[in-house]
Amino acid sequence: MEVQVFGVKKSADTRKALRFFSERRIRAHFVDLLERPMSSAELERFIQRFGLDVVLDRDSKRFEELGLRHSTVSAGRWVDRLIEEPLLIRLPLVRKLGQPAGLTVGPDEKTWKTWTTAA
């Protein structure tokens, strides 16, 4: 089993996800979104599965810094905005490679454990 973890190095939840998989000797391909932006198709896959409100972290410090609390942004524009500002995403985004339904948003150890027991 292999997973792909999208996040940023300074995110505690991203580090927890990487540690979770490394402790179980599961290969985790880490993509630092500050160094290499996520493709719009990849991000839209998470948004289609979970919805924008789950993927968008409205409680993040960056959301407040950009003054987005009272702004109105169209759904199509949010994808571009999230690619430009990855700190607006609820991190980590985890994808189980080889399984189209294997996606999680945020720290979701319960789902990750089901992946590891099924492998």
Three-point CA angle 114, 40, 42, nearest 5°: 20
Give phi and psi for 10, each to the nearest 5.
-85, 0
Confidence of residue 77 (pLDDT cuts 50, 70, 90): confident
Look up the CATH architecture of domain 2-118.
3-Layer(aba) Sandwich (3.40)
pLDDT of residue 118: 72
Task: Output the average pLDDT for the chain.
Answer: 90
5 neighbors 28 (Cβ within 8 angstroms): yes
pLDDT confidence of residue 14: 97
User: 119 pLDDT band (50/70/90 cuts)?
Assistant: low
Q: Identify each DSSP E strand in the chain by its residue range.
A: 2-7, 27-32, 93-96, 103-105
Q: Can you give the residue ranges of every domain in the chain?
A: 2-118
Q: Look at the pTM and tell me if it is higher than 0.85.
A: yes
pLDDT tens sequence across 18-31: 999 999 999 999 99
